[in-house]
Amino acid sequence: MWQYEKKLQYPVNIKNPNPKYAQIIISQYGGPDGELGASMRYLTQRYGMPYDEVKGLLTDVGIEDLFCILIILI
């Protein structure tokens, strides 16, 4: 049996919210030219590559982009 607690790792206190800045940050994550879109394109294009070296390169680049998103979120 497990218990789920929804709490943040670090406390967050936002004194002055800035919606324009938040919109810029969100567009960099999930927008058409954002990191998430780029990493998904790299990871899906790898399946059409005829050479293993190119598949490996696209996999590495796609995973690196996903890791950058993770670093930004932490």
DSSP 10-35: S----SS--HHHHHHHHHHHHSTTSH
Q: What is the pLDDT of residue 44?
A: 93
Tens place of pLDDT per residue across the chain (74 aa): 667 677 778 888 889 999 998 887 777 777 777 788 888 888 999 999 998 888 999 999 999 888 877 776 66
Q: What is the pLDDT of residue 3?
A: 74
Note if the pTM is more than 0.75: no
Which residue shows structure tokens 């927008």? 31
Alpha carbon distances (Å) from 4 to 1, 11, 59 = 10, 18, 33
Angstrom distance (rounded) from CA 46 to CA 34: 19
